[in-house]
Amino acid sequence: MTRPDIGVFGSGAWGTALAITWARAGAKVALWGSFPEEMALMAATRRHLRLKDVVFPDSLHTSNDPAEAFEAPLWISAMPTQVTPEAWAKLRPQAPRAPESVIHVSKGILQSTHQTLSQALAGVWDLPVGVLSGPSFADEVSRGVPTAIVLALPPSVPDARAQALQAQLSSEKLRIYLSRDVVGTELCGALKNSLAIAAGLVDGLKLGYNARAALITRGLAEMARLVEVLGGQPATVMGLAGMGDLLLTATGPQSRNRTFGELVGKGQSVAAARDALGGQVIEGMFTTEAALALAAAHGLDLPIAAEVQRLLNGERPEEAVRRLMTRSLKSE
């Protein structure tokens, strides 16, 4: 393979789906993953275990050796949020050179430091870090189902470079909108996972569509409060990264976080619900605690997130609903 256009670091379903999409659109993509057996299987079958019906394009090359991905001028970080800083601490010294641009596609807040990934990764490279986020299930993206998401880049990235990255990552099936609100986009992508657990709880308890609509709407208000106090923009909350991603994750049957909440609502323990999902990462479990800590530091009340945390701590789901419905009355 000649020098790749894009290096994707992280071979989960989402990173792989994006790699497939960009390769299908004509880019040369190097996909790195840390598990040798998994990468060998992908190389042999030209498929991902969680995207079984999609064959990799010829211009997508997979390897557990990061050398090829390092050669790309654009690096995409697609590892699980909680392990990303540690993974890059090990990877970065192996790179022969720095990339021209770094964009991460992971959703969540770091449980250990309560940082977003752009904040945590700022010290890894002497480069601004952007984020790609929005309503997007990996399997649909890999199959070429029309999808629209947001590329948020910091103001330090010149307009010409930002527009070039937007054009490079867009395709006929993947429409990308440009934003300058990195922290708002990251917080929306993180908080929607916690709120999706709550929406799944409503479904599991069979509380009806009225309750779910109310939960999503009030959850959006919680999201807006935290985004605003941490420097994000209200327009981001009402756009694809906020409302769009929340609607998808809180209602879509493929959502791990919603399904997890539904299983708990039906009576399964937290541990049993996680096991039922095959050990997949339930990012909302990490995000909820971090979001509540950030809110507390700024004197904010996040009642839905607080009830999700109690749920994760083993309290009965019926009690969470009772407390939300009997809170003191107030204006919207």
CA angle in degrees (0–180, nearest 5) for 255-259-263: 175
CA–CA gap between residue 303 and residue 237 (Å, rounded): 18
In contact, 265 and 203? CB cutoff 8 Å? yes
CA dihedral 296, 300, 306, 309 (to 10 degrees): -40
Q: Which one from 192, 206, 266, 330 is the annotated catalytic residue? A: 192
CA–CA gap between residue 23 and residue 29 (Å, rounded): 6
Q: Closest Cα partner for 190 from 302, 284, 294, 285?
A: 284
| Residue bearing tokens 């109310």 | 214
CB burial of residue 318 (10 Å; 0-12, 13-18, 19+): exposed
| Catalytic-residue membership of 107 | no
CA dihedral 319, 326, 263, 253 (to 10 degrees): -170
State the catalytic residues. Answer: 192
